[in-house]
Structure 1
Amino acid sequence: MRLTIKYFASIREQLGMQQEVVDVDAPQLTIDALRARLASRNAQMAAALPEGRRVRTAVNHEMVAGSFVVREDSEIAFFPPVTGG
Structure 2
Amino acid sequence: MKLVYFAWVRERVGKAEETVDLPAGIVTVADLIDWLRGRGEEYAYAFETTGIVRAAIDRVHAKPDAPIAGAAEIAFFPPMTGG
Residue in structure 2 matching 1:65, options 53, 63, 67? 63
Q: For 1:61 and 1:32, locate their aligned partners in 2 and report how far apart those are by CA, in whole Å.
A: 17
Would the aligned equivalents of 2:29 and 2:64 in 1 still touch at CA under 8 Å?
A: yes
Q: For 2:21 and 2:54, locate their aligned partners in 1 and report how far apart those are by CA, in whole Å.
A: 22
Name the structure with the higher strand share. Answer: 1
Q: For 1:53 and 1:43, locate their aligned partners in 2 and report how far apart those are by CA, in whole Å.
A: 18
Deviation at 1:25, TM superposition (A): 2.2
Deviation at 1:51, TM superposition (A): 4.3
Question: Which runs of 5 or more structure 2 residues have no equivalent in the other structure?
Answer: none
Does residue 56 of structure 1 match 2:51?
A: no
Alignment of 1:2-81 (within 5 A): 3-26=1-24, 29-81=27-79
Deviation at 1:52, TM superposition (A): 2.4
Deviation at 1:71, TM superposition (A): 1.3
CA-to-aligned-CA distance 1:39-77 (integer Å, 9 cap, x gap):
111111000012425011100010010000101352000
**Number of residue pairs the alignment of both structures matches:** 83
CA-to-aligned-CA distance 1:23-43 (integer Å, 9 cap, x gap):
012276100000000111111
For 1:59, the aligned partner's letter is I
Q: TM-score, normalised to structure 1's length? A: 0.87
For 1:25, the aligned partner's letter is P
> Pairwise CA RMSD of aligned residues?
1.7
Question: Which runs of 5 or more structure 1 residues have no equivalent in the other structure?
Answer: none
